[in-house]
């Protein structure tokens, strides 16, 4: 078992990484609380049953799988269920699933009764190394991803490596795009491991190393005012691809893969990036013209009054923020 502590301005929380941890989550959470377990309808029932058995004082809410559920409709529906069941502030929400679940449940937790506790139990690689860590929670609008949200850390993150065994190859590879991103912006050693090693044979170590990278950024810039923006590498175009295709064509990691290639101009760096992405069957180009993405880029929550902060990698393991106008971005 590996543990990582994340310091936040509001609380310090622990990330626990282990095998088969879903079968005994009561070892890490108080059994005296009432838990509301929230998951999408594609999460294997065995996981829901394991958590519910461990936290016997509970109720379960399911919602439709997919990015479309990060919506005002599902947000309001879950809030209504909590109110109808008189869920009080001393209860705790459990986000059991991927990044959509964590973002949606975290946003519900941040606003219901002005804030109640929640726990992240991520079951996808992307959620385990990225979205469950750092306290960003949000829902989407028709024009932009994550444009309504808050910074609201969980009280604990429980990562079960075994949960990855039920992931499709496409979902696993989507998570690898975020791991590749960490290597590109911060750790040449991690990037080279990804290129060289059998990922699934070393997955626990790589998950740990990825979270350590994210820990550095979120602890030093929790509210995304400067340094943490490095984590947005590939996301300006990535989110635009997702929104343009109405979250139907690409998984999040696939869109970020496209976005990273889009903003990589140094040829030898681009060749290595593409090599890493292709190892996991991730897309590297899309036929849509840049002009059609501009309206979505303009709605991106990271934009400032007269420029966009673009994250650029000219050397693997090192990144920088470059201010660009929308005209420069679309060239």
CB 208 within 8 A of CB 4: yes
**pLDDT of residue 301 exceeding 60:** no
Where would I find the H helices in the chain?
A: 45-54, 72-84, 99-111, 125-126, 169-185, 188-196, 203-220, 235-244, 252-262, 267-279, 290-298, 326-329
Q: What are 260-283's pLDDT values in tens digits?
A: 999 999 999 999 999 999 999 999
pTM of the model: 0.94
Query: How far does CA 211 lie from the centroid of its chain?
Result: 11
Mean pLDDT of 226-235: 95
**Cβ(178)–Cβ(129) below 8 Å:** yes
Taking residues 298-316, report their average pLDDT: 80
Q: What is the pLDDT of residues 183-206, one digit of tens each?
A: 999 999 999 999 999 999 999 999
| Domains contained in the chain, CATH given | 2-166 (3.40.50.1970), 169-329 (1.20.1090.10)
Please state whether 146 falls in left (phi above 0), alpha (psi between -120 and 50) or beta. Answer: left
């Amino acid at each position: 078992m590996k543990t990582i502590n994340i310091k936040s301005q509001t609380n310090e929380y622990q990330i626990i990484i282990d095998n088969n941890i879903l079968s005994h989550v009561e070892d890490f959470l108080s059994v005296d609380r009432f838990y509301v377990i929230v998951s999408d309808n594609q999460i294997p029932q065995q996981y829901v049953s394991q958590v519910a058995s461990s936290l016997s004082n509970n109720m379960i809410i399911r919602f439709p799988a997919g990015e479309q559920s990060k919506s005002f409709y599902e947000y309001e529906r879950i809030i209504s269920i909590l109110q109808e069941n008189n869920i009080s502030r001393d209860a705790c929400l459990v986000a059991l699933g991927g990044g959509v679940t964590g973002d949606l449940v975290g946003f519900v937790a941040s606003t219901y009764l002005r804030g109640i506790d929640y726990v992240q139990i991520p079951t996808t690689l992307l959620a385990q190394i990225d979205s469950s860590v750092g306290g960003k929670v949000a829902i989407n609008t028709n024009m932009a991803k994550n444009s309504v949200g808050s910074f609201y850390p969980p009280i604990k993150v429980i990562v079960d490596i075994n949960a990855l065994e039920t992931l499709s190859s496409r979902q696993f590879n989507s998570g690898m795009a975020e791991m590749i991103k960490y290597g590109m912006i911060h750790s040449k050693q991690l990037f080279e491991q990804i290129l060289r090693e059998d990922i699934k044979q070393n997955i626990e170590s790589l998950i740990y190393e990825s979270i350590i990278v994210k820990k550095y950024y979120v602890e030093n810039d929790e509210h995304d005012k400067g340094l943490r923006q490095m984590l947005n590498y590939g996301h300006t175009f990535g989110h635009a691809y997702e929104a343009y295709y109405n979250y139907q064509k690409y998984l999040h990691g696939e869109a970020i893969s496209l976005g990273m290639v889009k903003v990589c101009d140094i040829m030898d760096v681009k060749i290595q990036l593409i090599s890493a992405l292709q190892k996991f069957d991730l897309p590297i180009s899309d036929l849509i013209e840049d002009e059609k993405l501009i309206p979505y880029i303009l709605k991106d929550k990271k934009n400032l009054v007269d420029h966009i902060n673009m994250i650029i990698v000219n050397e693997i393991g090192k990144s920088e923020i470059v201010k660009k106008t929308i005209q420069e971005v679309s060239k």
